[in-house]
Amino acid sequence: MMDAAAVLARFDAFRADPPPEPGFDRIWADGVWRTLGPSNFIIWWDFPAEAAAAIATREAAFFAGRQLEWKVYSHDRPPGLEAALAAAGFEADEPETFVALDLEATPLADPEVGVDIRAVTDAAGLADFLAVNEAAFGRVEPWMAQYIEDRLANADLAVFVAYDGMRPVASGRLELAPGTAFAGLFGGGVVPDYRGRGAYRALVAARAAMARRLGYRYLTVDARETSRPILQRLGFQPLATVRGWTLGGG
């Protein structure tokens, strides 16, 4: 069984000192790591409880008119942070479960589900990825196309599409953090009429195989309730709950 406390401590060390990420700037602003780029987010902070209200208000003002996600895990401090974010105008997303897989202890077998998993390497593959992403999640994310296009040749991102014949039916990203133990799964989605056939599991296995081959120890996911049971059956273990607090762009 994975030592949840030990893995969370390693993950927090990664959050507190992340490697550079192409296309993003990270700025330490009086207790808060701001990450600025195609999407904006706060990944780490260090301030006392008595400063939470002022800092939440300050960050809301700094990012006014832009989108921002401040992601809070259940073991994060200080106490009262989420109340301070709510008071400053941040809106709470649905809670998710932070799960992790020890790739050394639990390598995933590639399920035989009749889909062809292909890495995205060109504009046609990117178009298929974006079309599946929109159909799966019911929304358009304007920043994503340029974000992926700019990073396709980099070693810190891999993008996959699952095909049934010529039809793209599922897609997902593998975000890699060179020099760390952690790789993350993001954006795994299946078009509505293809759900329940194993395409999601196949995408997880393909991305896990790449992460393991590249030497990463842990594969992490912020799992929605639709995917958490599937991931747990594959061997992922829940380590914490996580909630995004967001500001909308203008």
Q: Is residue 84 part of a domain?
A: yes
Domain that holds residue 16: 4-96
Last residue of a domain, one of 63, 96, 129: 96
**Residue 146 or 207, more confident:** 207
Cα 91 from Cα 69, distance rounded (Å): 9
pLDDT in tens, 57-81: 999 999 999 999 999 999 999 999 9
Q: How confident is the model at residue 250 (pLDDT cuts 50, 70, 90)?
A: very low
pLDDT cut 90: percent of the chain above it:
82
Q: Cα dist. 150→24, 137, 153, 210, 243 in Å?
A: 12, 23, 8, 20, 28
Same domain (yes/no): 81, 112: no
Domain boundary among 96, 120, 138: 96
- Considering the domain architecture, whether residues 180 and 122 belong to the same structural domain is answered as yes
155 assigned to some structural domain: yes
pLDDT of residue 140: 80
What percent of the chain has pLDDT above 70?
99
Q: Is the pLDDT of residue 249 over 70?
A: no
Mean pLDDT of 111-115: 85
21 vs 32: which has the higher pLDDT: 32
Question: 35: which strand partners?
Answer: 26, 41
Domain holding 150: CATH number? 3.40.630.30
**For the chain, how many structural domains are there in total?**
2
47 found inside a domain: yes
**Distance in angstroms (rounded) separating the CA atoms of residues 164 and 43:** 37
Q: What is the pLDDT of residue 152?
A: 85
Each residue's pLDDT tens digit, 169-196: 999 999 999 999 999 999 999 999 999 9
Specify whether 46 is located in the same domain as 140.
Answer: no
108 and 208 share one domain: yes
Residue 149 belongs to a domain: yes
What confidence tier does 111 reach under pLDDT thresholds 50, 70, 90? Answer: confident
Predicted model pTM: 0.93
- Clarify whether residues 193 and 110 are in a common domain: yes
Question: Is residue 233 in a domain?
Answer: no
